[in-house]
Structure 1
C-alpha cells in the first residue's frame, strides 16, 4: 500500500522528469546570440505595428522582407529568423509550422536575387590562413608581453583549429608541454571537451610549443588561472574574452596587410593546410573538434580537393 512518503517521492520524481524534458544546456555565445536576435525581432514588430508574440507565417515573412530592406545579408537574416522563432517558442507562443519554412524560402530567394545582381552583403566567409601568412603575422609581432601573448594565440589556435571561445576558456594548466609539442585540453566546445596534440613547429615563428613556453614564462601564469590574459595598454588584467581573441588575430593580420582575417581564419586554415599535407577527414575532424560529417569541414576540404580531383583535368583543354 502506497504511503504519503511514497506519494511525495513519486511527485518529486515527476517534477525532475518534467525539468529534464525542458532542460537544454546552451553555451553563453548561443544565449547572447538569441538575445540579440530577439532585440531585432522587437524592433521589427514595433516598426510593423504587430503584436510582439506574433508567430504566424505573415509575421515571419514580413520579418525577412523588413531585414532585407535594411540591407542585411541572407546569412544574418537566417540567423535572426531562427533565433526569433526559438525565443517565441520559449515564451509559450504557438509558432505556426509553416512560418519559419516559408520565411526560409524568402531568404533563399533574396540570396538568389542578390547573386544575380552581383550584390554582396556582409563580410562573407573568413578566409583560411595559410602557414606562410601565419608565419608572417607571427614574425611581425613585437617581443613585448602582448606580442608574446598574440604569437601564442596565433600558433596554438592554428595548431588546434581552435574556436575563439575555446582559446578564451583555456586555463594555463590545460596546456601541457611535452617533448613532442603541446597537449591541450579544451574544456568546452560544440562537440564537447577534446584534447588535441600539437606537434612542435619546424619554423621558430610558427612553433606552438616555443610560442607558448615564451608567453607562459614571461607572464608568470598561474596554473589555475587563464591561459591568455587581456591588456589595458601594457598592463595585464583578467582573462581574455572570445572577442579579444578575434581582435588580436585581426590586428596581427592587418599589420602585415591581410584583410578580412578573423579568429575563425585559424580554424579554416588548419583544415585546409592539413588537407594539402594529405591528412584524411577523420584526422582533421578530431584535431579541430568537428562533428562527424560536418558540413563546414567538408566545405574547407573542398577548397583543396577541387583541384586534386577536377573535372577539367586531363580533358585536353
Structure 2
C-alpha cells in the first residue's frame, strides 16, 4: 500500500464552499450558554463546557459532518436567491426541496432519500439555533409528497461480498504488519457484520479512549464485541473459524500481537515503512478504500469496467455479505446485525430463498 493510503482523506463534498460567511455556523454547540440573567461562575462555566461536550455527542461524527454540509449548502442557496436562511421560512424550504429534486442549474437532481436527509439536516440545524419549523406545513409536506410520488425509486444497494469473495480478497494481502492489520479488518468486519465506523471505533479494553465506540474481549471460543452502534449498545459474538487462514479472531490476535497493541484503538495507522504501529486511530474511510482495492486485486466482477466495479462495493458490502452468506435462521442474523426488524435484515440479504415459506400452499391453494 502506498504511504499516503495511511492518511485520512476527506471525501469530496457535495456542497459548495461558502467561505468565511458560514464560519459562525460550524459549531452550534457553542450556542449552549447560561441564561442572560444568571451570573457566571467557575462551576457553572465548567458545566456549560460539559453540556457542550454532550451536545456534540448527540449524533455521530459522520452525521454531524453531513448536517454541517447540509446547512452550508442551504445557506448558500438562500443567499444566491437573495434571502437569508434565518429565520426559517417553510415557503423557501419547499422551494429548496423542489430545486434539489428538479436538478436545475449545474447540479444534478438528488434522490428522494438524499432530499429527505437534507431536510432532516435542516431541521437539526434550526433546532441548534433555537428555531423550529413545521415539516407538515403544506409548503413542505405537499412538495415532498409530490417529489416522492414522481421520483421515488427502490434504493440502490451495494453489492454483497460473499464467502468466496472475502477469501479471495484476504489472499491478496501480504503478511507484513500492514497486511496483518488489513486482513483483521476485513475478516472481523465480515464475520461481525460491522459498519466501517464500528470497525475503526473499537478499543482493546473498555474506556481506553474518550472517542471509543466499543471494545473487544477475546475469549477461548471467540471474540465478544461490545458496540455503541446507531441503535444503541449491542453485543456481537464472533466465533473462531475453521482454520487460522480464515479465522477473524486469529487474524485479530496476530495483528494485536505483532503491532504490540494492548491499550487504546484496535486498528491504527502504521509508519511509512509499515514496520511499526502508530497511536492514531484509522479513519473509517480506510475501510472503504481497502475494500475497493482488494476487490480490484482479487478480480471480483472482472467482467465489468474498473469504474463500475468500484461503484458496486463499499463498506456496507461486508455487512451485506454476512447477511447474505450466513445460512442460519433469519432471527440470528437480525440479532447479530442489531436490526430492529426482520424487514431491515432482509434488505441486506442479497441472495435468499424468497419462497421458502409458501403462504399460497399454506392457505390451501
- TM-score between both structures, scaled by the size of structure 1: 0.78
Whole-Å Cα distance in 2 between the matches of residues 95 and 229 of structure 1? 43
Instruction: Return the structure number with greater helix share.
Output: 1
Which of these residues, 217, 223, 237, is aligned with residue 176 of structure 1?
217
**Do the aligned residues in 2 keep the contact of 1:140 with 1:255 (CA within 8 Å)?**
yes
**Do the aligned residues in 1 keep the contact of 2:162 with 2:325 (CA within 8 Å)?**
yes
- 1:28-107 matches, cutoff 5 A: 28-53=61-86, 55-68=88-101, 69=103, 70-71=107-108, 72-96=110-134, 97-98=136-137, 99-107=139-147
Shift of 1:302: 7.5
Cα distance, 1:137–1:302 mapped onto 2, change above 3 Å = closer
- TM-score between both structures, scaled by the size of structure 2: 0.68
RMSD of aligned alpha carbons: 3.0
Please name the residue that 1:284 is paired with: 333
SS of the residue corresponding to residue 185 of structure 1 reads: strand
SS of the residue corresponding to residue 198 of structure 1 reads: strand
Cα distance, 1:146–1:307 mapped onto 2, change above 3 Å = farther
Please name the residue that 2:188 is paired with: 156
Shift of 1:234: 3.3
Shift of 1:295: 4.7
Using the TM superposition, name which of 251-260 and 152-161 deviates more: 251-260
**Do the aligned residues in 2 keep the contact of 1:268 with 1:300 (CA within 8 Å)?**
yes
Shift of 1:311: 9.0
SS of the residue corresponding to residue 55 of structure 1 reads: coil
Please name the residue that 1:5 is paired with: none
Write the deviation string for residues 14-69 of structure 1: whole angstroms up to 9, x where unpaired. Answer: x99xx9xx978222222222112111211221222222125334322221232231
Whole-Å Cα distance in 2 between the matches of residues 61 and 142 of structure 1? 53
SS of the residue corresponding to residue 34 of structure 1 reads: helix
Note the residue ranges of structure 1 that are not aligned, 5 or more in a row: 1-11
Whole-Å Cα distance in 1 between the matches of residues 251 and 183 of structure 2? 6
Which of these residues, 269, 273, 279, is aligned with residue 234 of structure 1?
273
Whole-Å Cα distance in 1 between the matches of residues 231 and 130 of structure 2? 29
Which of these residues, 289, 293, 296, is aligned with residue 341 of structure 2?
293
Whole-Å Cα distance in 2 between the matches of residues 234 and 307 of structure 1? 53
SS of the residue corresponding to residue 210 of structure 1 reads: helix
Using the TM superposition, name which of 144-153 and 300-309 deviates more: 300-309
SS of the residue corresponding to residue 248 of structure 1 reads: helix
Please name the residue that 2:356 is paired with: 308
Write the deviation string for residues 247-297 of structure 1: whole angstroms up to 9, x where unpaired. Answer: 2222222322342211111111112222xx13232x22221222x226532
Which of these residues, 236, 245, 262, is aligned with residue 196 of structure 1?
236
Shift of 1:204: 4.1
